[in-house]
Structure 1
Amino acid sequence: PKADAFMQVVKDKLAMPRNKVLVFSTFRHTLRYLIGKLIAAGVRVGLVHGDVPDEDRATLRRRFALPKEDADALDILLSSEVGCEGLDFQFCDCLVNFDLPWNPMRIEQRIGRIDRYGQQSDTIGIFNFITPGTIDAEIFDRCLSRIGVFQHAIGGNEEILGDITKEIHGIAETFTLSEEERERRLLQLADNKIRQMQEEQRLEERQGELFGLNLAAASWEQKLAKSRSHWLEPQALGLAVSSYLARRLGKEQDYLLGDKAVRTLRLSQEARAALLEDFRQLPRSTDPTHRIWERWLKGSLPTLPVTFEQEAAVDNASAVLLSLGHPLLRQAAAYLQEAESVAVRLSAVHESLPEGQHPFALYRWTRQGVKRDEDLIPVVRAPAVAEALLELLPTAIDAPAVEFPLQQVWDDLDAVHHQLWLAEATQHAEDNRQLVGVRIQSLTASFTARRALLEAQIGRAMNDKIRVMKQAELERAQVDFDVRVAALRRAAESGDIKATPAVFGVIEVRRGQ
Structure 2
Amino acid sequence: EQTRLEEHQAKLFGLALPKRDEEMVRQAASFWLRPAMLANLIARYLESRGAASLPKSLGSKAVTTLQLGQEVRDKLLADFKALKLTGTVAQAWERWLKGNDPRLAITFDQATADEQRLIAFITPMHPLARQAAEAEEPAAVLTCNLTAQTNAVPPGRYPFAIYKWRRIGLKDDFTFQPVCLHPHIAKYLLELLEFATPRDCDVDLLAADEEARLEQVHYRLWLDARAAHMEQVQSAAVTRVASLSTTHAARLALLEEQRITITESRIVRMREAQITAAHRDYEQRATDLRRACQQSDVIAASIAMGMITVTGDGVQ
Aligned to 2:270: 469
Aligned to 1:233: 34
User: Superposed, which structure 2 residues align to 1:262-301 within 5 Å?
Assistant: 275-276=72-73, 278-283=75-80, 285-287=91-93, 290=97, 295=102
Distance 2:230 2:188 in 1: 28
Tell me whether 1:360 sits opposite 2:163 in the alignment.
Answer: no
Tell me whether 1:491 sits opposite 2:292 in the alignment.
Answer: yes
User: Superposed, which structure 2 residues align to 1:138-149 within 5 Å?
Assistant: none
| Backbone CA RMSD of aligned residues | 4.2
Greater relative CO (CA pairs within 8 A, separation 6+): 2
Aligned-residue identity in percent: 26
Distance 1:426 1:439 in 2: 20
Q: How far apart are 1:467 and its partner, in Å?
A: 2.6
Contact 1:261 1:309 in 2 (8 A): no
Distance 2:77 2:172 in 1: 25
Contact 2:163 2:304 in 1 (8 A): yes
Aligned to 2:3: none
Give the letter for the 2:143 counterpart. Answer: A
Q: Secondary structure at the match of 2:19?
A: coil
CA deviation digits over 1:236-285, x for unaligned, max 9?
34543565577777xxxx977699946xx9xxxxx978855642433275
Aligned to 2:216: 415
Higher strand share: 2
CA deviation digits over 1:97-148, x for unaligned, max 9?
xxxxxxxxxxxxxxxxxxxxxxxxxxxxxxxxxxxxxxxxxxxxxxxxxxxx
Counterpart pick for 2:144 among 340, 344, 352:
344
CA deviation digits over 1:282-308, x for unaligned, max 9?
3275448757997269xxxxxxxx997
Tell me whether 1:396 sits opposite 2:196 in the alignment.
Answer: yes
Give the letter for the 1:393 counterpart. Answer: L
Count of matched residue positions in the alignment of Structure 1 and Structure 2? 285
Q: How far apart are 1:438 and its partner, in Å?
A: 1.5
Contact 1:363 1:499 in 2 (8 A): yes
User: Superposed, which structure 2 residues align to 1:79-478 within 5 Å?
Assistant: 210-218=13-21, 226-241=27-42, 243-244=44-45, 261=60, 275-276=72-73, 278-283=75-80, 285-287=91-93, 290=97, 295=102, 310=109, 323-324=122-123, 332-401=132-201, 402-478=203-279
Tell me whether 1:500 sits opposite 2:301 in the alignment.
Answer: yes
Cα 1:437–1:358 change in 2 (3 A) is same
CA deviation digits over 1:41-99, x for unaligned, max 9?
xxxxxxxxxxxxxxxxxxxxxxxxxxxxxxxxxxxxxxxxxxxxxxxxxxxxxxxxxxx
CA deviation digits over 1:384-436, x for unaligned, max 9?
32111112211010013242232111111111111111111112112212222
Distance 1:418 1:409 in 2: 14
Cα 1:280–1:354 change in 2 (3 A) is same
Cα 1:391–1:290 change in 2 (3 A) is farther
User: Superposed, which structure 2 residues align to 1:4-83 within 5 Å?
Assistant: none
Cα 1:294–1:357 change in 2 (3 A) is farther
Cα 1:324–1:464 change in 2 (3 A) is closer
Contact 1:369 1:491 in 2 (8 A): yes
Distance 2:164 2:264 in 1: 61
Cα 1:255–1:399 change in 2 (3 A) is farther
Give the letter for the 1:498 counterpart. Answer: I
Give the letter for the 2:192 counterpart. Answer: L
Cα 1:367–1:209 change in 2 (3 A) is farther
Distance 2:295 2:58 in 1: 47
CA deviation digits over 1:363-395, x for unaligned, max 9?
111111112211100011222321111122110
Q: Secondary structure at the match of 2:171?
A: coil
Q: How far apart are 1:474 and its partner, in Å?
A: 1.8
| TM-score normalised by length of structure 1 | 0.47
Cα 1:216–1:415 change in 2 (3 A) is farther
Q: How far apart are 1:340 and its partner, in Å?
A: 2.4
Distance 1:240 1:385 in 2: 27
Distance 1:207 1:428 in 2: 21
Cα 1:397–1:296 change in 2 (3 A) is same
Distance 1:308 1:213 in 2: 36
Cα 1:373–1:508 change in 2 (3 A) is same
Give the letter for the 2:78 counterpart. Answer: Q
| TM-score normalised by length of structure 2 | 0.72
Q: Secondary structure at the match of 1:370?
A: coil
Contact 1:366 1:499 in 2 (8 A): yes
Distance 1:454 1:308 in 2: 44
Give the letter for the 1:385 counterpart. Answer: I
Distance 1:239 1:386 in 2: 26
